[in-house]
Amino acid sequence: MNFRFNRKDAAATALCVFTCTAFAQTAPVLDSEQRRFHDIYKELVNINTSDSVGNNTTAVIAMKKYLIADGFTEAEVQIFEPFPRKGNLVVRLKGDGTQRPILLLAHVDVVEAKREDWKTDPFVLQEDDDFFTARGAVDDKSMAAAFVSIVGQLKREGFQSRRDLILALTADEEMSAVPSNGAWWLLRTHPELITADFGINEGGSSQLRHGKPTIQRVQIAEKMNTSYKLEITDVGGHSSLPTGGNPIYPLAAALGRIGEYRFPVKLAEVTKVYFEKSASFETDQLKEDMLAVASGDPDSAALDRLSSVPLYNAMLRTTCVATRLNAGHANNALPQSASATVNCRILPQDDPDAVDATLRQLLGNDRIQMTNLIQPMPSPPSPLRPDLMNAVNALTEKMWPGVTVVPFMSTGGTDSRYMRNAGMHMYGVSGIFYEPSDARMHGLNERVPQKSLYDGREFLYQLIKQLAVSGKE
Ligand SMILES: [Zn+2]
């Protein structure tokens, strides 16, 4: 491990003689690879890649410039722009071909961010208070920039790999509830460019507790996402003459039943292991409840207590929740229509058709039309490959002694589902630690501890190097 992060180091003080600024007092002293990584990260973050006004193509062209400077040819760094402003980049660092490739996948588009809502401009990287702050500071420009700098460094170093390393920087991941671009598009139109033995993507999360690294989560599965529109119509009329046809009441009653309903608990292997490993960080009743889940035979009281925590509830069962509601057109008119959106997150081992049937039963009223808005995509969990898990375990122990590696099913979605659906194994792991209470992805003032980002980049560099030479003799 060669992480160096010395604050107020002598070198910084020497620089300060000529350019003494507040930054010099707080800036870490970086080695040359870390400086290069910082430049890549800063340039990427400062390019707005939101759907409304951003430009993904500008961002991937900027990344291409670094890859070319590191020795890739113009032709090797391919850019695909299936939609204006929505470019994707693919580049391959050739190995000797004795083992199949590894895919390094990261999206460079970001969620919208409004200047007036943020403390600072979300599209200008802020470097202070020990944090990097900007939209995309974590999700997912941290991993995108790390991969660009790592693949570039390996190219410059003439690294001898047994596997091709494929880097794909993609667009529209944040729009991928209805996929049209990005990883999904590459897989459909250019599968030969990104098909690999396995891939590394976002979706893992590494947790600090009170500033101390505790858990390194490796995402090996995720829930399926689907949404339904519920709609009911009526002839309407004057509000002074109420009728039995008012659509608001049956819709509200149906939503009430959906809100009350709890899907049955289903314990996948990954869930049991997750609770078993997490129990070691807890005490008292919570610890006992977690161990009960780990045993595979928890009683209903333990499940009730765990289900009061949103994350545990979402890991234990499929969930469906009302997310939008719309009805009526005037304060003094009977409504002509009432509609709602219900979003479901389905466990990988649950059958989407059975969830559909349960919801229809809960509606309990033939007048309510239920339409499926997104086809849920089945995405089988990836196996705990020994080469990957051993490398993650050993590196984690070396860099953060005492930290527990935990396989994890994420409740939200990532582009890994397309790869898993196509039979490729995907792993979400980053080594970028932050406090769960400070997880601001998609939210305001998104930020990452500077030290965590540099450590994560080092972790990924070491991990990729190890995996690139792994495999059967
Ligand atoms: Zn993301």
With tokens 């599209």, the residue in question is 123
- Counting residues of the chain whose pLDDT is more than 70, the rounded percentage is 94
Instruction: Say whether pLDDT at 6 is over 70.
Output: no
Question: Cα of 110 to ligand 1 centre, how many Å?
Answer: 8
Question: Cα of 74 to ligand 1 centre, how many Å?
Answer: 28
> Closest Cα partner for 347 from 223, 462, 184?
223
For 208, the enclosing helix (H) or strand (E) is strand 206-209
Half-sphere exposure of 110 (CA within 13 A, CB side): 33
Residue 373 phi, psi (nearest 5): -90, -30
pLDDT on residue 7: 39
Question: Cα of 65 to ligand 1 centre, how many Å?
Answer: 23
What is the C-alpha to C-alpha distance for residues 222 and 410, in angstroms, rounded to an integer? Answer: 5
pLDDT on residue 4: 40
Cβ-Cβ contacts under 8 Å for 42 (sequence gap 6 or more): 125
Question: Cα of 362 to ligand 1 centre, how many Å?
Answer: 33
Question: Cα of 38 to ligand 1 centre, how many Å?
Answer: 20
Question: Cα of 470 to ligand 1 centre, how many Å?
Answer: 28
What radius of gyration, in Å, describes the C-alpha atoms of the chain? 25
What is the C-alpha to C-alpha distance for residues 168 and 321, in angstroms, rounded to an integer? Answer: 34
| The token pair that represents 197 in the structure block | 């033995």
Instruction: Say whether pLDDT at 18 is over 50.
Output: no
Model pLDDT for residues 47-104, shown as the tens digit of each residue: 999 999 999 999 999 999 999 999 999 999 999 999 999 999 999 999 999 999 999 9
Handedness of CA 214, 174, 133, 440 (dihedral sign): negative
Question: Cα of 204 to ligand 1 centre, how many Å?
Answer: 11
Cβ-Cβ contacts under 8 Å for 10 (sequence gap 6 or more): none
Question: Cα of 202 to ligand 1 centre, how many Å?
Answer: 6
Model pLDDT for residues 327-339, shown as the tens digit of each residue: 999 999 999 999 9
Around Cβ 447, how many Cβ atoms within 10 Å?
A: 19
Question: Cα of 169 to ligand 1 centre, how many Å?
Answer: 12
With tokens 């020990």, the residue in question is 130
pLDDT on residue 27: 58
pLDDT on residue 344: 97
Question: Cα of 339 to ligand 1 centre, how many Å?
Answer: 30
Instruction: Say whether pLDDT at 471 is over 90.
Output: no
Half-sphere exposure of 2 (CA within 13 A, CB side): 7
Contact 465, 1 (CB under 8 A): no
Question: Cα of 264 to ligand 1 centre, how many Å?
Answer: 29
Model pLDDT for residues 176-194, shown as the tens digit of each residue: 777 899 999 999 999 999 9
Contact 152, 66 (CB under 8 A): yes
Contact 445, 118 (CB under 8 A): yes
Question: Cα of 141 to ligand 1 centre, how many Å?
Answer: 9
With tokens 């659906």, the residue in question is 421
Question: Cα of 173 to ligand 1 centre, how many Å?
Answer: 7
Question: Cα of 111 to ligand 1 centre, how many Å?
Answer: 9
Question: Cα of 140 to ligand 1 centre, how many Å?
Answer: 5
Model pLDDT for residues 405-457, shown as the tens digit of each residue: 999 999 989 999 999 999 999 999 999 999 988 888 888 999 999 999 999 99
Question: Cα of 45 to ligand 1 centre, how many Å?
Answer: 14
Contact 381, 257 (CB under 8 A): no
Question: Cα of 94 to ligand 1 centre, how many Å?
Answer: 27
Question: Cα of 413 to ligand 1 centre, how many Å?
Answer: 9
Question: Cα of 25 to ligand 1 centre, how many Å?
Answer: 32
pLDDT band for 383, please (50, 70, 90 cuts). very high
Question: Cα of 282 to ligand 1 centre, how many Å?
Answer: 29
Higher confidence at residue 137 or residue 28?
A: 137
Instruction: Say whether pLDDT at 170 is over 80.
Output: yes
pLDDT on residue 8: 38
Alpha helices in 228-267 (DSSP H): 248-260
Model pLDDT for residues 197-253, shown as the tens digit of each residue: 999 999 998 999 889 999 999 999 999 999 999 999 999 999 999 999 999 999 999
Model pLDDT for residues 260-309, shown as the tens digit of each residue: 999 999 998 899 999 999 998 899 999 999 999 999 999 999 999 999 99
Instruction: Say whether pLDDT at 2 is over 50.
Output: no
CA 31 centroid distance within chain: 29
Question: Cα of 327 to ligand 1 centre, how many Å?
Answer: 33
| Residues linked to residue 343 through DSSP beta bridges, in sequence order | 227, 321
pLDDT on residue 11: 40
Helices 450-468, 386-399: axis angle to 10 degrees equals 140
Q: Which CATH class is domain 224-372?
A: alpha beta
pLDDT on residue 472: 58
Question: Cα of 395 to ligand 1 centre, how many Å?
Answer: 24
What is the C-alpha to C-alpha distance for residues 409 and 225, in angstroms, rounded to an integer? Answer: 13
**CATH 3.40.630.10 occupies which residues in the chain?**
31-203+414-468
**CATH 3.30.70.360 occupies which residues in the chain?**
224-372
Is 31-203+414-468 assigned to CATH 3.90.550.10? no
Residue 170 phi, psi (nearest 5): -120, 165
Mean pLDDT score of the chain:
92
What is the C-alpha to C-alpha distance for residues 458 and 395, in angstroms, rounded to an integer? Answer: 10
Question: Cα of 182 to ligand 1 centre, how many Å?
Answer: 12
Question: Cα of 168 to ligand 1 centre, how many Å?
Answer: 14
